[in-house]
């Protein structure tokens, strides 16, 4: 007779290996996506501050010009306009066109906050693609 030994097998609990590679890949991918899209999400005014000798490109066609003189009076293409009627007048000038550009010319004595208020009002109008602050160099 053979003696059978009952070998007790120990159930060894194996610690599962957690692979961090997919987690790191996902985190880095999200980081890259946010780094690329974050600057695009800012709603900022594009202003290229001129140096002393800078001149505007002469081929630029000024479609609509909003001017503010030192007294704070508004003009659209050399026609004096009330600030309350500015939006309606610009909507008429834009019409069904899209991608219109509005140039804002302000006297250097005009308060910067006032210029920004005017630019903000213009940016809300549909059909205007770009609001530029005009300078003379």
Separation CA 127–CA 110 (nearest Å): 27
- Look at residue 32 in the predicted model and tell me its pLDDT: 94
The DSSP letter of residue 104 is E
Domains (range + CATH), the chain: 64-133 (3.30.420.270)
| pLDDT of the residue at 52 | 43
What is the reported pLDDT for 50? 39
In the block, tokens 């003189």 appear at 69
pTM of the shown model: 0.53
At 74, list the tokens: 């508004």
Measure the CA–CA gap between 118 and 87, rounded to whole angstroms.
10
Residue 20: helix, strand or coil by DSSP?
A: coil
Q: Which of 9-18, 21-30, 39-48, 84-93 has the lowest mean pLDDT?
A: 39-48
Q: Does the pLDDT at position 45 exceed 80? A: no
Q: What are phi and psi of 51, to 5 degrees?
A: -85, 180
């Amino acid at each position: 007779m053979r003696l059978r030994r009952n070998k007790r097998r120990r159930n060894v609990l194996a610690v599962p290996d957690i692979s961090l590679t997919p987690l790191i890949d996902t985190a880095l991918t999200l980081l890259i996506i946010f780094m690329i899209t974050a600057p695009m999400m800012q709603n900022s005014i594009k202003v290229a501050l001129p140096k002393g000798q800078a001149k505007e490109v002469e081929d630029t066609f000024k479609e609509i010009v909003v001017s503010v003189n030192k007294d704070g009076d508004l003009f659209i293409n050399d026609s004096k306009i009330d600030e309350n009627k500015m939006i309606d007048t610009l909507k008429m000038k834009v019409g069904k066109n899209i991608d219109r550009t509005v140039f804002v010319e302000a006297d250097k004595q005009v308060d910067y906050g006032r210029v920004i208020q005017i630019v903000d009002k213009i940016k809300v109008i549909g059909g205007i693609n770009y609001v530029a602050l005009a300078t003379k160099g």
